[in-house]
């Protein structure tokens, strides 16, 4: 159960952070301030696959959590699988 909660938390936080960097100029401004603005052209090659991966991780963790909760609820009520 703890593993599903950790996966879900990582997936949601990662999705929010990557979406924030994808859809706002936060990362571009940060790279410009640091002096690495030449890397801004390559952000799409990294951020979009990372966004897809974190969304996939969130969906997987949510399905696993629901399956584990349903299994625990059935076991707790005395039903057999």
The size of the chain, in residues, is: 81
pTM to 2 decimal places:
0.77
Mean pLDDT of the chain: 86
Q: Please tell me the distance from the alpha carbon of residue 2 to that of residue 81, in angstroms, as a whole number.
A: 22
Write out the DSSP string of 1-21.
-HHHHHHHHHHHHHHHHHHHH
DSSP single-letter state for residue 67: H
Better-predicted residue by pLDDT, 5 or 75: 5
Q: What is the pLDDT of residues 6-43, one digit of tens each?
A: 999 999 999 999 999 888 888 888 889 999 888 888 88
Contact 50, 14 (CB under 8 A): yes
């Amino acid at each position: 159960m703890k593993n599903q909660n950790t996966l879900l938390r990582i997936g949601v936080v990662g999705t929010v952070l990557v979406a924030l960097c994808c859809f706002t100029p936060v990362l571009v401004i940060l790279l410009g301030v640091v002096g690495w603005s030449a890397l801004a052209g390559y952000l799409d090659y990294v951020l979009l696959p990372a966004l897809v991966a974190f969304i996939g991780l969130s969906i997987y963790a949510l399905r696993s959590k629901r399956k584990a909760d349903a299994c625990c609820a059935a076991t707790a009520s005395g039903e057999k699988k």
